Amino acid sequence: MPESAEQQSLAEIPLTELVACHECDLLMRKPAISDGESVECPRCGYELYNHRHQVVRRSLALVVAALLLYIPANFLPIMHLTLLGQTANDTVWSGVLGLYDSGMQSIAVVVFLSSMAVPLLKLVCQLLVLLSISLKVGRGYGLLLYRIYHHMREWGMLEVYLIGILVSIVKLADMAALSVGFGLACFIALLLVQVWLEVTMSPHQIWKALAGEDISARH
């Protein structure tokens, strides 16, 4: 069957000017958008990409904030537990050690990876990627690190660990004297900053910047 006029016109457009929907595979020309605008698929309504104002600077600020919150979130007490006259201060790190010492080494490793190691590696990758864009150096390494970051996104599960903390607080409240520590506030703040960072750090603009394209202009 002969191609339609629309298919023939798309075939003549350079690949850099085309975009495919991740949900329904519709191939279309990239429309020009300005700051604060987004592009949605006309077939299924999936958001293809958006354009954020000062995306690199804003993302750098959020990454630095998340890194500053990382240590208190993981090593300051999340809760103070008093039972039978004895007081214990629990942190994320002490929880990992407690699981390991009680014979659940495999669970301890999973908790350590998902709640501490992977979130830190994600932040380090994001920081290095943004620095490579901002300083205009090592963009080849930036591309590699950004690919690694995308592979690790599904392994960082701070929200799951937070739910576990909240459930344990509710269950222990009737058994012992329990008070919330400053570490829990830092942990929640870290989770919120990372969510904000995910929204701010537009993948479309980051890929374009790593390719050496200007992301400040209308595109």
The tens digit of pLDDT for each residue in 162-193 reads 666 666 666 665 665 666 778 888 888 998 99
Establish if 161 belongs to a structural domain.
yes
Residue 219: pLDDT band (50, 70, 90) is very low
The model's pLDDT over 7-43, given as tens digits with 9 standing for 90+, comes to 556 556 666 677 777 778 777 777 777 666 777 788 8
Say if residue 117 is in the same domain as residue 34: no
9 and 32 assigned to the same domain: yes
- pLDDT score at 3: 45
Count of structural domains, the chain: 2
Q: Are residues 39 and 139 in the same domain?
A: no
Q: Is the pLDDT of residue 45 over 80?
A: no
Euclidean distance between CA atoms 41 and 98, whole angstroms? 49
- Residue-wise pLDDT for 100-144, tens only, equals 888 888 878 888 888 888 889 999 999 999 999 988 888 888 889
Range of the domain at 122: 55-210
Which three-class secondary structure string do you get for the chain? CCCCHHHHHHHCCCHHHEEECCCCCCEEECCCCCCCCEEECCCCCCEEEECCCCHHHHHHHHHHHHHHHHHHHHHCCCEEEEECCEEEEECHHHHHHHHHHCCCHHHHHHHHHHHHHHHHHHHHHHHHHHHHHHHCCCHHHHHHHHHHHHHHHHHCCHHHHHHHHHHHHHHHCCCCEEEECHHHHHHHHHHHHHHHHHHHCCHHHHHHHHCCCCCCCCC
Q: State yes or no: pLDDT of 73 exceeds 70.
A: yes
Would 40 be classed as within a structural domain? yes
Q: Inform me whether the pLDDT recorded for 69 exceeds 60.
A: yes
Q: Is the pLDDT of residue 93 over 80?
A: yes
